[in-house]
Structure 1
Amino acid sequence: MKITGIVMGFDFGLKNIGIAVGQQLTYTAQPITTLQTKKYQPNWDIMKKIFNIWQPKIFIVGLPININGTNQPLTYLTYEFSKMLHKTFDLKVIMQDERFSTIEARSRLFKYHGFRSLKPNQINSISAVIILESWLQKT
């Protein structure tokens, strides 16, 4: 599926949600920010501001599943987050396997910026980049 315009990716977590944007035209993605959650929910007012700035055409949400492909408790919360995204912004949401995205994010951050860069807010937004890149490579 070819999308013209911005694609927005999310790395959903219990404490933080990493956000990145990308384009199918260039097959590239970049980190935007990491939002803290309260009771597993972002501040939807901030989410709306981010949406209005970037005006994405579709959302890609990382799906946290176990190595063997089975669901874990976070999987169900991620589905709930995805439903809220769709309900709030009326855009299609695609779930993207995110196995190993956090490991890859830590590896990239350490390689380019050293140990001090391994902070949760940076890891989550880079994980969102990796999730988006994985989806872009499939399209």
Structure 2
Amino acid sequence: MRYLAIDLGGKRTGLAVGDDESGIVSPLTVVEAKRDALRIEAIVKQIAREGAEALVVGWPVNMDGRAGPAAKAAEAFADQLGRATNLPVHLHDERQSSAEADQQMAQSGLTHGQKKARRDALAAATILRGFFESRAAGDGK
């Protein structure tokens, strides 16, 4: 099955695509939008372009596992996205995904601006890889 992953941010939302059969995950793009309606519109276009059959939204729970305001906002966005697309939407713990993306780019030779532009798409790819790994281990939702 083909999945589209979303790393929801205040200004930028990263997107990645992957296939659970092959396990291949690729960062796609970053959507620059603050309003949910504009984000959803851009995501719907990527769903059609990539042939995604399900969605994974990064769920930023606190380090202690509790759902704070950011996690609740991600839950609300996931609900909106599910209604707008009629696709299954999964939430996946995104703790440390941005830090991992930064680590991947640390020795890349990219400028600060280039790193900033790619960070959220790489974080979305990290979220999707984690989702696939948790499902393979039998503890995915």
| TM-score bracket, shorter-length normalisation | 0.7 to 0.9
TM-score (norm 2): 0.86
CA distance in 1, matches of 2:131, 2:10: 23
Equivalence for 2:72: 76
Cα distance in 2 for residues equivalent to 1:67 and 1:115: 30
1:36 paired residue among 32, 36, 39: 32
Identity %: 23
Give the structure 1 partner of residue 20 of structure 2.
24
Moved more, 44-53 or 78-87: 44-53
Query: Matched residue pairs, number?
Result: 134
TM-score by length of 1: 0.88
Is the partner of 2:61 in helix, strand or coil? coil
Residue 80 (structure 2) pairs with residue 90 (structure 1): no
TM superposition shift of 1:53: 0.7
1:103 is the counterpart of 2:99 = yes
Higher RCO, 1 or 2 (CA under 8 Å, sep at least 6)? Answer: 1
Q: Where does residue 128 of structure 1 map in the other structure? A: 124
Unaligned residue ranges in structure 2 (runs of 5+): 136-141
| 1:118 aligned onto 2:115 | yes
